[in-house]
Amino acid sequence: MNGKTILVAGGMLAWVAGLSAQQAPPASGSFVAMLGPTDTVAVEHYERTGDQLEGTSLTAYPRATLRSYTATFAPSGEVEHIHVATGRPGAEPSTTVDYTYTADSVLVDARRDTITRHLSMAYEGARPLPFFEDLFAFWEISVGRAMASPGDSLTFGAVAGRSVLPITFERRSGSAADFGFSDWGMVHATMSGAQLDRLDMTGTTSKYTVVRRGPIDIMARAKAWAARQQPGILSPRDTASAMIGSAHVAIDYGRPAMRGRKVFGGIVPFDKVWRLGANAATQLITDHDLVIGGTTVPAGTYSLWGVVSPSGWTLVVNKQHGQWGTQHDPDQDFARIPLRVSSLDEPVERFTVTVTSSGSEAGTISMEWARTRGTVGFTVR
């Protein structure tokens, strides 16, 4: 990598010397993040003055939350310090995180209420900035400077939790690029010079679309969001359970909603392993051996996954459980079981799983979303 290679990722930036005036980042900007065509999930406004970048992000789910940030840069353009504070509108921040950079390490002081945690993470090359998917000003600088760099394929790091994650960057054209990491997915960015116009995050677990807008009064919006009835969790957790003969069978899963989006072949891509819900991995818990679609599944706890294609659905039973829904380990797959697929007369807005009895020692697992139902029968051994 030469001296002009830069960091790029959500929440990452590094200064590139010698950018032309036409490539200078905007002095201010606002963004709106949408989930589907109508639901606003986040807004942000930022200002740049001298060696500082300041901004505020407001997210809607699971309740109105403000995140303010200040990034300070040295005369060379290298980031020196970042302060991020998170809390409810009208209240003192409940969490603050400070990132201080040395020549080879990021020092992190994270405070929640009265407890402060100190971390130190080594890095090589350009200074990795923290990963926040709702701080789009960082993304604008990162992608703009990546597009100005000579490389088309780059890999860098982002500070996330206790580690530095590898981030990939691929230039697609003079105004478009993809970036991200494997567990989260890839983001498609569209730029006008150094100005970020759009982020297509539908290929990530977040599923947002981010667009540039005119100035937004964040505090006025925060007051309005805090005053209204909160929309709650985007994908609430639920459990489908039943006594089938002598067996207790339960499926614990997250329930995403359509929100005007295309589901199958859209937010659920064809021919790829899907978490069969949202957030943490879906779990099957049974206290008796089951024969599911002809396959014997011993008593225990499993994670369930799905593979959706235009020609049918497959239920994947995996021996691992308790993991996040992006952490599918194919080496732990226990069985792959075909499902019967049928069409629904009326669309189902929120993904729904049911476990029902179909006989003294027999039952059916059913999954419905949009206009499609997938089912499989089972018996208790």
> Got the DSSP string for 314-345?
EEEEES--SSBTT---GGGEEEEEEEEEEEEE
> What percent of the chain stands above pLDDT 90?
59
Q: What is the pLDDT of residue 157?
A: 81
pLDDT in tens, 233-247: 778 889 999 999 999
| DSSP letter assigned to residue 119 | E
What's CA 107's distance to the chain center, in Å? 25
The mean pLDDT value for 105-134 works out to 89
Domain residue limits, the chain: 21-225, 237-380
pLDDT tens digits along 19-30: 333 456 688 999
* pLDDT for residue 130: 86
Highest mean pLDDT among 152-156, 174-178, 182-186: 174-178
pLDDT digits (tens, 9 = 90+) for 276-322: 999 889 999 999 999 999 999 999 999 999 999 999 999 999 999 98
- Determine if the pTM surpasses 0.75: no
- Residue range 157-161: average pLDDT? 86
User: 2-16, 129-143, 312-326: which has the minimum mean pLDDT?
Assistant: 2-16
CA atoms within 13 A on the CB side of 134: 22
Length of the chain: 381
175-182: long-range contacts at Cβ-Cβ below 8 A with a sequence spacing of 24 or more?
175/147, 177/8, 177/143, 177/146, 177/147, 179/8, 179/9, 179/10, 179/142, 179/143, 179/146, 180/9, 180/10, 180/204, 181/9
**pLDDT above 80 for 227:** no
Mean of per-residue pLDDT scores for the chain = 87
**In the predicted structure, residue 5 carries a pLDDT above the cut 50:** no
Return the exposure string of 315-339: e unless at least 16 CB atoms fall within 10 Å of the residue's CB, then b. Answer: bbbbebbebebbebeeeebbbebeb
